[in-house]
Every structure is written in C-alpha cells, then in structure tokens.
C-alpha cells in the first residue's frame, strides 16, 4: 500500500532550478532570502538536484534546511549523475550561469545511486532524504543512449530505490523527467510511488499528458509532482518556453488570449496556471522555482486566490484548454 508522503500542506512547494543559477547568477545571500521567504509563507516541500548548478543548488537548500526541524518539511533530490571536482577550465558548458567546478557523468546503476544519495546527504547536512527522483533518464537528456540507460536503471536504480524504501532509508521514489515515456516505462517494470513530471502538464500544454500519462499513473496508484508548471516562466511573461528560447508556433497568441480572459475575471494567468495543475487528482504538488522572494509570495497568493468557474468555462468554450482536462470544481 503506497503512502501519500505529500499531504495538503505540501500542495505548493519550491523547486531549485533557479537557485542553481539557471537564469541568472543568484548569490548565496539571495538564495537564502528566497528560501527563507518560502519558509515564512508556509512552504514545506523543497525539491532540488545535484545537477542544478553542478551541486550548488543542493548545497544552498541544505544550508537553509539544516537549521529547520527535520520533521517539519519534505525534501526531495535526485540521482542519475555522479559529480567530480575539476579545475575551472575543465567545467563543461551547461545551462547554469555560475556553476561550481564539477564535471559529471550519467550513471543509473545501484552502486551509483547509493553513492549519489550519500553525497547528497553530505552536501546538504540533512540526516535523510524523503523522496528520491531518478533524474533526466529521458531521450531529451541522454539521446539515443536512452534504451541503454533504461536497462541500467531497471537492473540498478529501480531495484535499489525500492529496497531503500522498504528499509525505511527513503520514503518514496520515482522518475524526475521532462517527457512522458520514461514515467510509463518505469511504471511498466517497477513500483514507483511518485514522479516529478516537468513541462508535460501546464495550462498552456497538457493534451498528451491527459490522454497518456494521467490514466497510467491513476491505474498504478502513482502520484505526480508538477515541475515547470509555468513552462519555465513563459506563463508569467518570460520569453523562454520549457527552458528553451524557441517558442512553439501559436503559443504567443494562446498566452495573450488566456491572459486577456484572466484579466476580465480580475485574476492573473499565474493564478489560473497554478490552480489548473492542482485541479488534476493525479497531482499532489506543484513546485515552481523562484529567482526573487516576490515570486514566492506571488505563488502563495495564487494558491489562495479563488478562480471563478466561469473563467474555466470560457477557456473550454474557446478550446484554449483540452475538453478532457480536469479543472477546479470538476471530478
């Protein structure tokens, strides 16, 4: 029987991509202020990864959270890459604006997973990790080596994480990926508890997830966490979509029309985007990142904003959201 580790108080969490300097060079002091704001507004679910900033984000989360009562929050991080310190000249080019001096390799074997967890505990200073996500085991990250790494994970990561869960070392595990297929593949051959699905389910783009992902996780009793639920800032006006500078055809017009309708009902598109994700029974939490404390406050305010039922009816009538998508108030 799977235990729901994320409860009502974890519906809104915070993700660590921005704190890992994905979009700008956030300082240690700024990162601490963002996390302190999250804590002060009642956020109790914190998600990061050693990948973010080449271990920088994970260290920053640890520096903040080690001063909090451990049973007062849920912490998740990720496995799938191993890191080694290198001279600055040997740091590989990545999306991070100011990463630490590390190189990395993908490794989904049991030994690598155990080592990754041990290193995460050392970096954070925490005594345990609640949820472990298998990170970026997906074609968009490992390319045509996906079948090779999937088989490696089936023999390694999937088995060892189930064992660690059964031993009580971790509370839950699953995939943390930007595509649907890896979650389906994992459910087919293992028993994950919760998966972090990034970029696949948002108010702007969700049809494929409604048709293929949600029915599968529902049947398997697997919960979902939403990563990049704002399409890495596009919902709030950034000119990047799912971490890339290329905006899908027609998306600008769709965002503009949705924003206009939201304003008619005296809400923002962020308000609607957050409630849209959480309206789905399959999603236990949404974990938007933040580059500024104000963004954390905006997310908390969005959670507390009531969305008129007429707003959703209008979006569906204009076919701006999929007719099969669950919206607040629907079952």
Q: What is the distance between the alpha carbons of residues 312 and 246, in angstroms, rounded to a whole number?
A: 28
Helix (H), strand (E) at residue 63: helix 56-65
Task: Say which of 52, 234, 241, 243 is annotated catalytic.
Answer: 52
Q: Is 78 a residue of the active site?
A: yes
pTM confidence score: 0.97
- With cut-offs at 50, 70 and 90, classify the pLDDT of residue 1: very low
In the chain, % helix, strand, coil (3-state, to 5) comes to 45, 15, 40
Q: Of 45, 47, 108, 298, which one is the catalytic site residue?
A: 47
Residue 52 annotated in active site: yes
Q: Quote the percentage of the chain above a pLDDT of 90.
A: 98
Question: How far apart are the C-alpha atoms of 99 and 92, rounded to whole Å?
Answer: 10
- pLDDT of 204 higher than 60: yes
Could you read off the pLDDT of 149-181 as tens digits, one per residue? 999 999 999 999 999 999 999 999 999 999 999
- What pLDDT, in 10s, does the model give residues 91-144? 999 999 999 999 999 999 999 999 999 999 999 999 999 999 999 999 999 999
User: Average of pLDDT values for 20-41?
Assistant: 98
CB 61 within 8 A of CB 32: no
pLDDT of residue 248: 97
Name the catalytic one among 45, 46, 56, 78: 78
pLDDT of 330 reads: 82
CA–CA distance, 99 with 271 (Å, rounded to integer): 32
Whether the pLDDT of residue 3 is over 70: the answer is no
What pLDDT, on a 0 to 100 scale, did the predictor assign at position 329?
A: 87
DSSP secondary structure string, 102-163?
EEEEE--SHHHHHHHHHHHHHHH--S--SEEEEE--SHHHHGGGHHHHHHHHHHTHHHHHHH
Query: Which residue ranges make up each domain of the chain?
Result: 8-251+269-307
The pLDDT of residue 60 is above 70: yes
Structure confidence by residue, pLDDT tens digits, 221-269: 999 999 999 999 999 999 999 999 999 999 999 999 999 999 999 999 9
Residue bearing the bigger pLDDT, 329 or 249: 249
Is 281 among the residues known to form the active site? no
Spatial separation of the C-alpha atoms in residues 210 and 324, rounded to whole Å: 7
Q: What is the mean pLDDT of the chain?
A: 97
Per-residue pLDDT band for 4 (boundaries 50, 70, 90) equals: confident
Query: For 8-251+269-307, CATH number?
Result: 3.20.20.100
């Amino acid at each position: 029987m799977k235990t729901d580790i994320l409860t009502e108080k974890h519906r809104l969490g915070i993700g660590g991509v921005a704190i890992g300097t994905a979009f700008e060079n956030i300082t240690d002091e700024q990162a601490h202020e963002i996390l302190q704001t999250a804590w002060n507004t009642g956020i109790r679910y914190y998600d990061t990864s050693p990948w973010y900033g080449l271990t920088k984000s994970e260290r920053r989360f640890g520096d903040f959270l080690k001063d909090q009562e451990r049973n007062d929050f849920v912490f998740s991080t990720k496995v799938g890459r191993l890191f080694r310190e290198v001279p600055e000249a040997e740091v590989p080019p990545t999306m991070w604006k100011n990463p630490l001096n590390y190189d990395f390799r993908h490794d989904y074997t049991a030994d690598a997973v155990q080592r990754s967890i041990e290193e995460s505990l050392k970096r954070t200073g925490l005594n345990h990790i609640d949820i472990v996500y298998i990170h970026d085991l997906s074609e968009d990250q490992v390319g045509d080596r996906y079948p090779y790494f999937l088989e490696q994970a089936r023999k390694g990561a999937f088995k060892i994480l189930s064992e660690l869960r059964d031993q009580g070392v971790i509370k839950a595990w699953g995939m943390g990926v930007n595509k649907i297929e890896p979650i389906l593949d994992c459910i087919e051959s293992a028993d994950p508890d919760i998966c972090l699905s990034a970029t696949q389910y948002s108010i702007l783009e969700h049809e494929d997830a409604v048709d293929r992902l949600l029915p599968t996780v529902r049947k398997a009793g697997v919960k979902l966490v939403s990563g990049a639920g704002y399409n890495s800032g596009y919902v709030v006006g950034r000119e990047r979509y799912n971490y890339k500078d290329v905006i899908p055809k027609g998306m600008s017009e769709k965002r503009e029309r949705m924003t206009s309708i939201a304003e008619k009902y005296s809400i923002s598109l962020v308000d609607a985007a957050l409630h849209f994700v959480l309206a789905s029974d399959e999603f236990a939490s949404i974990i938007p990142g933040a580059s500024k404390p104000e963004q954390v406050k905006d997310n908390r305010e969005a959670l507390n904003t009531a969305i008129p039922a007429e707003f959703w009816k209008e979006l569906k009538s204009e076919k701006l959201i999929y007719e099969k998508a669950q919206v607040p108030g629907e079952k």
